[in-house]
A and B are shown apart, each in its own frame.
Chain A
Amino acid sequence: MYPCQFGVRGWFQSLSTPEQNLLIAVAVLLAGLLLGSLAAFFVRRILFASGVDEAVEGTPFERTARQLGSSTVQLLAQLSGLFVFVVAALYAARTIGLVPEEALVEAVGRFLPQLFVAIFIVLIGLVVADKAELVVDERLKSIKLPEVTIVSTLLKVSILYVAALVALSQLGVATGALLILLAAYAFGVFFLGGLAFKDLLSSAAAGIYLLLSEPYAIGDEIEIDGHRGIVQEMGVFVTHIERDGEEYILPNRKVFREGAIRIRGE
């Protein structure tokens, strides 16, 4: 054992410096290859274990990846493996002095992780955007209104936009203008959306209280805002009251604003 190791060390020291460096470079490269594939393997295992492969099933991104003989999980795993390998290759190159300028290596070394993170973010953004579009479309499938697909498209574009923004800022590109655009967009969505959904939201808030505490139930006779009748249906947004074949559909916020009269007995 010892003589053998001794022998290897002796042999190594007998080599010239460039030869030593080359050997180290090759070793680093091999270690990088090994570590890279190990990283890819573990990333893939983790992604599979957390059900990412099932979550991305059916997204356009996954389909494109499949057509190219890969999959989202494999792509992510390969990317992380590649990252480890590239870092190793960089060190190997520096060892044999292939890259003369130390500053360049430093700069590349600092830039590389950012680049990889940016790529990761774009990939994840793509997958999440596709998935969100799919889920929303699935939810809205029962509504037979072609224009409703704009909701999912809008959501997808928003997610892609945010992902692109994060990726760009990761790379150090000036994103100030894009950020302002995002702020304006978010303001528009929340402010105008809130304004548009004001009545719905206040009805829903009242409806949740009504459903939880049930001050009146289906079959009770009540009067809301001058409409008297038997409660036929209670929902989150509206209450249906029926009397003599006329069904009033009243928003729940009316119950809170005007109060309801419950008619008991004869």
Chain B
Amino acid sequence: MSQLGDLLDDVVSEVDGAFLFSPSGSLYGRFQEADEPVVVVGTENDVDAEAFVELPLEFEDVRERIRFGIEGGLENEFIEEGDQVACALRLFADDIDTVTRVRAGDFDRSGVYGLFVDSRAEPEVIRNVLEVAIELGKKGQKGKRVGALFVVGDAGKVMNKSRPLSYNPFEKSHVHVGDPIVDVMLKEFSRLDGAFVISDSGKIVSAYRYLEPAAEGVDIPKGLGARHMAAGAITKDTNAVAVVLSESDGLVRAFSGGEIILELDPEEY
């Protein structure tokens, strides 16, 4: 089947760089001699690659994964806008089984890379919050679907643009997202209304916050409710990032600067 080989040659001919998604050490070793830039994308830099883009989570959606990798490559100037890039990644198997060709900058920059790297809060914290939201979306609270709103970063300003709905269960506690006990606590408290406020370093500052940002000029898709509206508005008004778990459609959305940056289906993780 030489035709297949030709087809693959066509796909990868004259590319300006290669993106390897979570490659094994031996595979990366073979690429080290290449003239074109080789960028490794993965959750961990196992192969000690020089050009490395860290994935905050294993995006199940291949498009999201590639988008994140390319945006990270552009941001770090491993590649340039308009470069033709070959991406080698895994789709079905446990190792790399798919090669695709992308023109960097072809799709509009969604800012998904910036969401993690350029936010006030540490990337680790945003990732942990996303994981909590995904977990919550998957299991719900006692089998019932729940919604939740997490505002991450710039906590001082967020606290000044919100008011308490009830006593704050996290007062004088010093738990951080990512602590094992927190998952259970957040699940319990997500039954109640209001937003969680999380600081830059991941400390849970408060629950039950009613957000009162200036909501002018916030444009979110029709059909999304007050929770998303509040998330969009608070991220426009402050430097925070918001992660929303929708009660109606069960999706997790991340907001930054008043816009939806990332949309994930918890069921896929």
Q: Please give, as numbers and ranges, the residues of chain B lying within 8 Å of A230 by CB-CB distance.
A: 156-157, 159-160
Q: Are A233 and B160 CB-contacts (below 8 A) given A217-B171, A218-B155, A219-B155?
A: no
The reply to whether B160 and A235 contact each other, CB–CB distance below 8 Å, is no
B59-67, B197-205, B251-259: which lies at the interface: B197-205
For B155, give its contact among A213, A214, A233 (CB under 8 Å).
A233
B71 adjacent to chain A (CB < 8 Å): no
B142 adjacent to chain A (CB < 8 Å): no
Q: 8 Å CB contacts to B: which residues of A216-235?
A: 217-219, 221, 230-235
Q: 8 Å CB contacts to A: which residues of B184-202?
A: 197, 199-201
Complexed CA–CA distance, A26 and B171 (Å): 75
For B154, give its contact among A211, A213, A214, A232 (CB under 8 Å).
A232
Q: Please give, as numbers and ranges, the residues of chain A lying within 8 Å of B156 by CB-CB distance.
A: 218-219, 230-233, 242
Q: Please give, as numbers and ranges, the residues of chain B lying within 8 Å of A213 by CB-CB distance.
A: 172
The reply to whether A232 and B200 contact each other, CB–CB distance below 8 Å, is yes
The reply to whether A232 and B171 contact each other, CB–CB distance below 8 Å, is no
Complexed CA–CA distance, A235 and B174 (Å): 10
Q: Are A217 and B205 CB-contacts (below 8 A) given A232-B155, A233-B155, A233-B200?
A: yes
Q: Please give, as numbers and ranges, the residues of chain B lying within 8 Å of A214 by CB-CB distance.
A: 171-172
Q: Please give, as numbers and ranges, the residues of chain A lying within 8 Å of B174 by CB-CB distance.
A: 211
Min CB distance A138 to B, Å, is 15
Min CB distance A5 to B, Å, is 66
Q: What are the interface flags for A230-249 relative to B under an 8 Å C-beta threshold, 1 for contact and 0 otherwise?
A: 11111100001010000000
Q: Please give, as numbers and ranges, the residues of chain B lying within 8 Å of A233 by CB-CB distance.
A: 155-156, 199-201, 203
The reply to whether A218 and B199 contact each other, CB–CB distance below 8 Å, is yes
Q: What are the interface flags for A63-84 relative to B under an 8 Å C-beta threshold, 1 for contact and 0 otherwise?
A: 0000000000000000000000
For B199, give its contact among A211, A212, A221, A232 (CB under 8 Å).
A232
Q: Please give, as numbers and ranges, the residues of chain B lying within 8 Å of A232 by CB-CB distance.
A: 154-157, 199-200
Q: What are the interface flags for B136-177 relative to A under an 8 Å C-beta threshold, 1 for contact and 0 otherwise?
A: 000000000000000000111111100000000001101000
Q: Please give, as numbers and ranges, the residues of chain A lying within 8 Å of B199 by CB-CB distance.
A: 218, 232-233
Complexed CA–CA distance, A139 and B174 (Å): 21
The reply to whether B157 and A218 contact each other, CB–CB distance below 8 Å, is no
Q: Please give, as numbers and ranges, the residues of chain A lying within 8 Å of B203 by CB-CB distance.
A: 218, 233-234
- Which B residue's beta carbon lies closest to that of A242? B156
Complexed CA–CA distance, A72 and B150 (Å): 49
- Which A residue's beta carbon lies closest to that of B198? A218
The reply to whether B171 and A218 contact each other, CB–CB distance below 8 Å, is no
The reply to whether B171 and A219 contact each other, CB–CB distance below 8 Å, is no
Min CB distance B17 to A, Å, is 25
The reply to whether B201 and A219 contact each other, CB–CB distance below 8 Å, is no
Complexed CA–CA distance, A232 and B199 (Å): 7
Min CB distance B6 to A, Å, is 44
Min CB distance B154 to A, Å, is 7
Q: Please give, as numbers and ranges, the residues of chain B lying within 8 Å of A218 by CB-CB distance.
A: 155-156, 159, 197, 199, 203, 205
Q: Please give, as numbers and ranges, the residues of chain A lying within 8 Å of B200 by CB-CB distance.
A: 232-233, 240
Complexed CA–CA distance, A233 and B153 (Å): 10
Complexed CA–CA distance, A215 and B155 (Å): 17
- Which A residue's beta carbon lies closest to that of B200? A233
Complexed CA–CA distance, A46 and B155 (Å): 51
Min CB distance B16 to A, Å, is 29
Q: Please give, as numbers and ranges, the residues of chain B lying within 8 Å of A242 by CB-CB distance.
A: 156-157
Q: Please give, as numbers and ranges, the residues of chain A lying within 8 Å of B157 by CB-CB distance.
A: 230, 232, 242
Complexed CA–CA distance, A212 and B171 (Å): 10
Min CB distance B74 to A, Å, is 24
Complexed CA–CA distance, A234 and B159 (Å): 14
Complexed CA–CA distance, A205 and B203 (Å): 20
Min CB distance B149 to A, Å, is 17
Complexed CA–CA distance, A230 and B238 (Å): 13
Q: Please give, as numbers and ranges, the residues of chain B lying within 8 Å of A211 by CB-CB distance.
A: 174
Complexed CA–CA distance, A212 and B203 (Å): 14
Q: Please give, as numbers and ranges, the residues of chain B lying within 8 Å of A240 by CB-CB distance.
A: 200
Complexed CA–CA distance, A221 and B203 (Å): 18
Complexed CA–CA distance, A77 and B174 (Å): 45
Complexed CA–CA distance, A211 and B159 (Å): 18
11 contacts between A and B (CB under 8 A): A212-B172, A214-B172, A217-B171, A218-B155, A218-B199, A219-B205, A230-B159, A231-B156, A232-B199, A233-B156, A242-B157
Sample of 17 further A-B pairs with CB below 8 A, known A214-B171, A219-B155, A232-B154? A213-B172, A217-B205, A218-B159, A218-B199, A219-B156, A219-B158, A219-B159, A219-B160, A219-B205, A230-B156, A230-B157, A232-B155, A232-B156, A232-B199, A233-B155, A233-B156, A242-B157
Residues of B within 8 A of A (CB): 154-160, 171-172, 174, 197, 199-201, 203, 205
Residues of A within 8 A of B (CB): 211-214, 217-219, 221, 230-235, 240, 242
Closest 9 CB pairs of A and B: A219-B159, A230-B156, A232-B156, A218-B205, A218-B155, A219-B156, A214-B172, A233-B199, A231-B156
